[in-house]
Chain A
Amino acid sequence: MTSAPASSSPGVLGLSLKQVPMILRSFCRQNGLMLWNYGFSLLVLFVACSLLAPSELFRPFIASAIIVVTLVSGGLFGTSRGLWMFFGGSGAERYWTSAVAGSSVLAYCISRFVLTVTAALVQVLALGIVYRIDILHPLLPLLLVTVVAAACFVSLGALSASVATSRRRTAIVANVLFVLLIVALSVDAVAAEKIPTWLNLLPSVQAMDLFHQLIEAAAGWGDVVKPVLGLILATIVFGAIAVLKFDWLAFDRGMAEDWDV
C-alpha cells in the first residue's frame, strides 16, 4: 500500500506550479474562452478609446477603466465560474481524495491569474502601439499594478466560489460584486470628490486610480506603493477567506443542485 507525501506549503505550491501548464493548455483548447478573454477585451478597448474617447485628453482615463473592467471580469467571473466548471459536480472526488487536493485549486487560480494578467497586458500593449500612449516610462509600476490587481480579483473570484456553495449562488454573488465594483468605478470616474470613503477603498477604485495615474501622468514607484499594499492586503484577506470556506462537498453537491433547477 502507498502512503501519502507530506503536504507542506512549499510542497503544495510546487505541486500547483506543476499543474499550471496542463490547465493553461486546457484553456487554449477552448476557443470561446480565448476569444472572450483576449479578443473581446481588446475589441472593447478599441471601441472605447476610438468612439467614446476620440480626444487624447480622455483616452488614458477611459483606457484605465477598460483595463480594470477586464481585470475585474477576468478575475472575478473567470475564476468563480471556472472553479465550478473544472471541479464542480460528480468527479470532484478525483481531487478531494488527495491529501494535496488544495494544490489543484491553487493551480487553477494561478492559471486564471496568468490569463487575466496577459489579457490586461495585451490591452496595455495595444494602448502603446495603437494610441501612442507612453507605457515604457511607467512600465515596471504598470506591470506591478496589473499583477497585483489581477491577483486581487482572482482571489475575490475564488472567495465568491467558496462562500456561495452552489454554482448558481456563485453566479449571483459574482454578479452582485461585479456591479458593486463597477458602479464604484463609475462614481469615482464622474464624481470622485463625492464618493463615500468606504467606496473609495474598493479594489476596483484603487486599481482604476493607479492605472489612471500611471498611464496619464506616468507616475513613479512612490505614487503606487501605498495603494498596491492595500490591494495586496485585500488579496490576502480574500484568499484567506476562500481557503477557510472552501468545501469540496459543496462543490460536489452545488453543481447537482443547479442541474436540478
Chain B
Amino acid sequence: MPNEATDGMTLQVTGVTARAADGAPLENVSFRLEAGSAAAIISEPIGSAALLIDCVAGAASPTSGTVALPSGGNGKGALAKSIGILRGEARFPQGVTTGELIEHIGLLRGEPNALGRLVDQFALGDAAGTPASKLGADLRQLTRLGCSTIGLPDLLLLDRADRDLPLPKRRLLHRMIRGQRERGGIALFSCDNLATVEAACTHVIVLRDGKLLACDTIDNLILSHQQWMRIEVLTDTELDLGTVSALDYVHHAVRHGDRYHIFAENKFTSVHRLLTHFDGQNVPLRDVHTFSSTLSDVITELFLSA
C-alpha cells in the first residue's frame, strides 16, 4: 500500500496526475518537502486536496507520476508505520470508547502509552471513557487528529485538519503541527481556515482545478506578489466593479460586505489615481485604507490570475 521510499526525510511528489471519484482532478503536480516542513494545501475545488493526500497516502492511484515518501527506517513495515493519516470524517467503531480506541491504535503502532500523551496534548481526559462515536463533533475531530499522531509518524497527512474545531481547539492542532515540524517530521494537510495555515505552516501549496499554482513558503509567496497592494474602500453607493477592474493600474476588485477591496499596483500614485477616478465618478467615499498583501490576498490573486 505505501508508495516507494526516498533515501532521507523528504517527500517528493513528481508529475502526479489523478482524478477522484467526484471528478476533482490533479494535473501534473510536483513538489518537494524537506524534513521539518509543514505544508497546507489550498485548493479549488477542495476535492483536489483530498485526492492529493490520498495519492501520497497510497489510498488513490495516480494515472501518472510518482510519490516518494520519507523512509524513516528500513523496510516496508517501517515505511508504513512512519505515516499518520486522517482522511475525511473518519468513522469510529461502535461500542469502542475513545480511550480504548487510542490504546488499540497505540498497540498497533508501537506506542502503548499513547493515551496519556493524547489526553495531555488534546485535552481528551473527559472523552476517554465515552464511546468515540458519541462524542461532540470537535472532540471527535481531536480524537481523529490524535489517532493520526500515534507512533509519532515521520509524515502526517491530514485532510481538512481543522474541520469542526472552534478557535480555542484549533490551537491544539496548530501546536500538533508545529510539534511535528520541531520533531523533524513532515506535515501535509488541507484545512478550512487560513489562520491555521498562517499559524502552523512553513509552506503553502496552491491548486486550482488540479493544477499547481504555487508551492512555496508563506513569506516567499507574499514577497513574490508584493507588486500589488490592497486598497479598502467604504462607500455608500454601489461601485461598478467592472469599471474599476478595467483601470490599467488595477489588477482586480472584489466586494466584501459593505467594503470594496481593490488590488492595485503597489505604487504611491495608485491611491492618488484611484481617488481621482472616484472624484470624477462622483463616488462619495467614507473611508479608504491601504494594506500590503496578506496570504489571503496572494491566494485570491493566484486563483483569479489562473
Binding site for B on A (CB under 8 A): 1-7, 15, 18-19, 22, 25-30, 85-91, 93-101, 103-104, 248-249, 252, 255
Is the CB–CB distance between A22 and B184 below 8 Å? no
Interface flag for B34 (CB, 8 Å): no
Interface flag for B59 (CB, 8 Å): yes
Bound Cα distance from A25 to B153, whole angstroms? 29
User: Which residues on B sit within 8 Å (CB–CB) of A2?
Assistant: 81-82, 110-111, 151-152
Q: Which residue of B lies closest to A32 (CB)?
A: B94
Is the CB–CB distance between A91 and B90 below 8 Å? yes
Q: Which residue of B lies closest to A256 (CB)?
A: B21
Is the CB–CB distance between A93 and B85 below 8 Å? yes
**Contact (A1, B184) CB under 8 Å given A97-B153, A98-B108, A101-B108:** yes
Binds A, one of B95-103, B214-222, B261-269, B274-282: B95-103
Is the CB–CB distance between B108 and A25 below 8 Å? no
Interface centre among A7, A94, A95, A99 (most CB of B within 10 A): A94
Is the CB–CB distance between B105 and A1 below 8 Å? no
Of A88, A97, A99, which one neighbours B84 at CB under 8 angstroms?
A97
The 4 closest A-B pairs by CB, nearest first: A99-B77, A26-B95, A91-B90, A98-B108
Is the CB–CB distance between B78 and A3 below 8 Å? yes
Is the CB–CB distance between B81 and A25 below 8 Å? no
**6 cross-chain CB contacts under 8 A:** A2-B152, A94-B90, A98-B151, A99-B77, A99-B78, A104-B108
User: Which residues on B sit within 8 Å (CB–CB) of A5?
Assistant: 110
- How many B residues face the partner with a CB closer than 8 A? 47
Is the CB–CB distance between B81 and A90 below 8 Å? no
Of B95, B104, B183, which one neighbours A19 at CB under 8 angstroms?
B104
User: Which residues on A sit within 8 Å (CB–CB) of B59?
Assistant: 93, 249, 252
Interface centre among B76, B84, B95, B131 (most CB of A within 10 A): B95
User: Which residues on B sit within 8 Å (CB–CB) of A30?
Assistant: 94-95
Bound Cα distance from A90 to B83, whole angstroms? 16
Chain B residues numbered 246-300 whose CB sits less than 8 Å from any CB in chain A: none
User: Which residues on B sit within 8 Å (CB–CB) of A7?
Assistant: 77
Q: Which residue of B lies closest to A248 (CB)?
A: B1
A57 to B: closest C-beta gap in Å: 43
A17 to B: closest C-beta gap in Å: 11
**Contact (A100, B78) CB under 8 Å given A1-B72, A26-B100, A91-B91:** no
Q: Which residue of B lies closest to A18 (CB)?
A: B107
Chain B residues numbered 71-130 whose CB sits less than 8 Å from any CB in chain A: 72-78, 80-96, 100, 103-105, 107-111
Interface centre among A19, A26, A252 (most CB of B within 10 A): A26
User: Which residues on A sit within 8 Å (CB–CB) of B82?
Assistant: 1-2
Is the CB–CB distance between A4 and B73 below 8 Å? yes
Q: Which residue of A lies closest to B159 (CB)?
A: A90
Interface flag for B27 (CB, 8 Å): no
User: Which residues on A sit within 8 Å (CB–CB) of B78?
Assistant: 3-4, 99
Additional A-B contacts beyond A1-B184, A85-B93 (12; CB < 8 A): A3-B73, A4-B80, A22-B104, A25-B100, A26-B93, A86-B93, A91-B90, A93-B85, A96-B80, A98-B108, A99-B76, A99-B78
Bound Cα distance from A25 to B131, whole angstroms? 11
Interface flag for B154 (CB, 8 Å): yes
Interface centre among B85, B152, B184, B185 (most CB of A within 10 A): B85
Is the CB–CB distance between B81 and A99 below 8 Å? yes
Bound Cα distance from A91 to B187, whole angstroms? 19
Bound Cα distance from A14 to B110, whole angstroms? 14
Of B1, B103, B144, which one neighbours A96 at CB under 8 angstroms?
B1
A123 to B: closest C-beta gap in Å: 24
Interface flag for B42 (CB, 8 Å): no
A95 to B: closest C-beta gap in Å: 6
User: Which residues on B sit within 8 Å (CB–CB) of A85?
Assistant: 93-94
Interface flag for B206 (CB, 8 Å): no
User: Which residues on B sit within 8 Å (CB–CB) of A26?
Assistant: 93-96, 100
Is the CB–CB distance between A93 and B103 below 8 Å? no
User: Which residues on B sit within 8 Å (CB–CB) of A99?
Assistant: 76-78, 80-81
User: Which residues on B sit within 8 Å (CB–CB) of A255?
Assistant: 91
Bound Cα distance from A110 to B74, whole angstroms? 31
**Contact (A90, B100) CB under 8 Å given A2-B151, A98-B81:** no
Interface flag for B13 (CB, 8 Å): no
Q: Which residue of B lies closest to A26 (CB)?
A: B95
Of B87, B108, B148, which one neighbours A95 at CB under 8 angstroms?
B108
